[in-house]
A and B are shown apart, each in its own frame.
Chain A
Amino acid sequence: MSFVEYGDTIKNGDTAIVFLGHESMFPVKVQHGTVTQTKYGVIRHSTDLIGKKYGSKVTCSKGGWVFILHPTPELWTMNLPHRTQILYSTDISIITMMLELKPGSIVCESGTGSGSLSHALIRTVAPTGHLYTVEFHQQRAEKAREEFREHGVEHLVTVTNQDVCKNGFGVSNIADAVFLDIPSPWEAVGHAKSALKAEGGRICSFSPCIEQVQRTCLAMEEHGFTEINTLEILLRVYNVRTISLQIPDLGKASEDNSSIGFDSSNPSNQGSPCTNLQQGTVQFKSGVPLREMVGHTGYLTFATKSLF
């Protein structure tokens, strides 16, 4: 296993995802002789995990079962230990596409934070690209290095512990893309420009507040970036439910009980397998939005370093 290469079977030292159902899951470091406690009982790594196929159902000591999944950056994002606020896959996906990342791309990132985006960037630029990530918090930088090692991607990433606004990315004229997720991105725009290749490249800055965006856009313009574009992406998740709505009693029932609600509801539900008119109700499948959703993560400002 590695985060950039699928493996079929679970091996000692792997990071695997224990899936308990209903989006409840957590990562485990697979180690001989180790046990993991779940609400369904104990998982013994040596016998229950090592050598098994990823995607297998594992029966725990109390008879309950879990699935063991191959790690991906997306699963890691949902399960990683938070050291900071993190970016989620919805924002990550548009960042990756708008920065035009692909195998071989050289990317600069700051800050590293909890490494949520870093894992996705590394996945995309592997096997020939590289990520230069800068984190001014020493402990976080160290922790990120450790995780990259554990996940078998250390050869694809360089973690630097310095202040990007003062010292930049530690590289120049080599990046295809730069990503900024720091409180004052406008102070790093100049460094971003010099990190990017002479022939140009793409930049993205993530900020929660519009005032930050404003200053960043001004800085980008001053540094000659073009195609400056700010957008926001929101994820809407739907629960799939079978809904039944009662047919109102308009007094017809006593006169003609053979066609309660039939005339009114049937035409609109033709061909729907879910329609059930028994007992005066109509059933249908619906995608129901969650009661509460994420309304704002941050504004994403993209721009191009142009030739001039």
Chain B
Amino acid sequence: RLKRAGATMEAGTRPGLHICEGDCAVLKRDDVFKAVPVLRRRKIIFEKQWFYLDNAIGHIYGTTFEVTSGGNLQPKQEMEETTPETKEAGTDNRNIVDDGKSQKLTHDDIKALKDKGIKGQEIVQQLIENSTTFRDKTEFAQDKYIKKKKKKYEAVITIVRPSTRILSTMYYAREPGKINHLRYDTLAQMLTLGNIHAGNKMIVMETCAGLVLGAVMERMGGYGSIIQMYPGGGPVRAATSCFGFPKPFFNNLHEFPLSKVDSLLSGTFSTETLPSEPEDNALVEEESNGSIDEKQASIQETEEESTETAMESNQTEEQETMDINAEDIGFKENQGKENKENVREKQRKQQERRKKLIETAALLREKNADGLIVASKFHPTPLLLSLLEFVAPSRPFVVYCQYKEPLLECYTKLRERGGVINLKLSETWLRSYQVLPDRSHPKLTMSGGGGYLLSGITVVLDKSKCDSSNLEALKMEEPSSKKRKVQDLHC
């Protein structure tokens, strides 16, 4: 059932080597990332520095740049390590006293050096020369000192291509709240446990800013189809747009409102009442504007910026927002003609959405999905009990939850329901190491938790378990999902 999306896909799997205008790129400084759209004459603020990306255009991804005066980026030449000629060092710190006077340069001196536009490398050298205790420090302590100063004064930025690795690390560090504290190694488990690969027909229900969706899309490479279940007025795909997927990847990406799941399962589904977008969209916006944290604000800016890069998936979102604005203005100014056009345009779009919704409903009704991925802020049990109906037997499913307790309940309820085997509740721990000659050890701090997973495999639901006599009649007239509900009551 491997559906190939056509020859155009090749361009997608081998994206451009070079940084192009309009790309989604990620800035990297040490372990800090920031996703930005590559645009000319656009001021970027990253790690307390501002600059323009204009000069980066045309360079290969992975190039490291230095920020020069005026905010220009200049490709960094490979440095010739300037090792201090005198390899003098102490053996211990018994005679080093913290009198706060070891650095002979004052704050003003340093500021003056910076204002003169002196290279960071040279400032570091001066700091070393003017440190009275440097020579007495142990070799390791000298290393550490230099590293620390380099980090502060030698500002280099690497521009890298976005990937699940980079974006999930970035989100976990900068905006864990937006992705329900889903740590990147947990996301990695989900992709593997879910056997995500090209050709799948996946169901994804997430409220992780579209990061999980993006990760699934990356692993499917444009082959197969994805149905994204969304709460409220529309799917959030801010993180998805950071991946910079080629357009064909969106051809087989479908969305379906959660609020229609019950009716779809009971057979009363209709497209008459679509979820009301304007209200819900406003809600979503309000939610994201609620964050005051500086870091959160900065990523929000990232998200907003990247929305501007013409991603097909976001166009609907954008247009919808535009609709609201347009409607507002139209109402206030009471310009009848424009208003009418807006109404017509809106109707056309409603029609379009309705058509898509019917298509997606048909895809779900086949009940042959190859897997289910859930990572949301909602209680997982009702999601699982309903959405598993759409999954074929012998397919994996994975549910993420920030907390363990809801998954305990989910586990119990799934056991009662049946139709699943190999249920496993798990968590991963991630430990980073400093590896240096004679100084290897686990890093000082590690993440306390990255959430929990409940995974399993679907099997054909056992019908013989149930009292059959009066169910036979039901089977005849009830749609299959209702049948199941009745069975559950009997069991």
Contact = CB atoms under 8 A, between A and B. Distances in A.
A301 B434 CA distance: 11
Contact residues on A (Cβ < 8 Å of other chain), bracket: 35 or more
B197 A4 contact: yes
Interface string A100-130: 1011100000000000000010011011100
Contact of A123 (B195, B395, B407, B435): B195
Interface stretch (A52-60, A140-148, A251-259): A52-60
Contacts of A100: 163-165
Interface string B428-454: 111111010100100000000000100
A262 to B, nearest CB: 23
A10 B317 CA distance: 43
Contacts of B405: 285
Contact of B199 (A4, A68, A239): A4
A236 interface: yes
Nearest to B434: A230
Contacts of B192: 74, 89, 92-93, 96, 120
B408 A287 contact: yes
Nearest to A6: B370
Given A56-B460, A127-B198, A67 B421 contact: yes
A298 to B, nearest CB: 12
A49 to B, nearest CB: 13
Contact of A238 (B184, B185, B223, B425): B425
A232 B13 CA distance: 30
Interface string A33-59: 000000000000000000001111100
A100 B62 CA distance: 14
Given A100-B165, A103-B197, A301-B435, A19 B421 contact: yes
B163 A53 contact: no
Nearest to B396: A72
Nearest to B200: A6
B458 interface: yes
B435 A230 contact: yes
Contacts of B431: 231-234
A57 B430 CA distance: 38
A301 B13 CA distance: 26
Contacts of A306: 62, 64
B32 interface: no
Interface string B176-189: 00000000110111
B460 A199 contact: no
B460 A124 contact: no
A285 B408 contact: yes
A103 B196 CA distance: 11
Contacts of B459: 55-57, 67, 69
Contact of B393 (A54, A232, A299): A54
A245 interface: no
Interface in A196-250: 199-200, 210, 213-214, 217-218, 228-240
Given A73-B195, A236-B426, A286-B408, A128 B165 contact: no
Contacts of B163: 100
Interface string B135-169: 00000000000000000000000000001110010
B17 interface: yes
Given A6-B1, A97-B191, A287-B408, A233 B185 contact: yes
A279 B437 CA distance: 62
B260 to A, nearest CB: 26
B191 A96 contact: yes
Interface in B2-39: 2, 4, 10, 13-14, 17
A190 B192 CA distance: 30
Interface in A256-280: 273
B354 interface: no
Contacts of B17: 199
B193 interface: yes
A307 interface: yes
Contacts of B63: 307
Nearest to A304: B62
B276 interface: no
Given A57-B459, A70-B394, A90-B189, A231 B432 contact: yes
A85 to B, nearest CB: 19
B193 A240 contact: no
A19 B458 CA distance: 12
A6 B411 contact: no
B408 A213 contact: no
Contacts of A234: 428-431
A290 to B, nearest CB: 10
Contact of B437 (A72, A89, A104, A218): A218
A126 B196 CA distance: 11
Contact of A231 (B223, B412, B433, B452): B433
Nearest to A56: B460
A55 B412 contact: no
A298 B457 CA distance: 28
B392 interface: yes
A23 interface: yes
Interface in B236-271: none
A55 B430 contact: no
B393 A98 contact: no
Contact of B433 (A57, A120, A124, A230): A230
Contacts of A23: 422
B430 A102 contact: no
B408 A240 contact: yes
Contacts of B421: 19, 21, 67
Q: Which of A218, A228, A306, A307 has the most CB of B within 10 A?
A: A307
A247 to B, nearest CB: 22
A96 B192 CA distance: 8
B458 A213 contact: no
B427 A233 contact: no
Contacts of A124: 197, 219
Contacts of A89: 189, 192-193
- Top-6 shortest CB links A-B: A55-B393, A103-B221, A55-B394, A104-B13, A93-B192, A54-B394
Given A126-B198, A127-B199, 20 more contacts: A6-B392, A23-B422, A55-B394, A55-B458, A57-B459, A57-B460, A74-B396, A89-B189, A96-B191, A97-B168, A104-B221, A120-B192, A230-B435, A232-B430, A233-B431, A234-B430, A237-B424, A238-B404, A287-B425, A304-B62
6 contacts: A6-B395, A23-B422, A53-B394, A55-B395, A57-B460, A102-B221
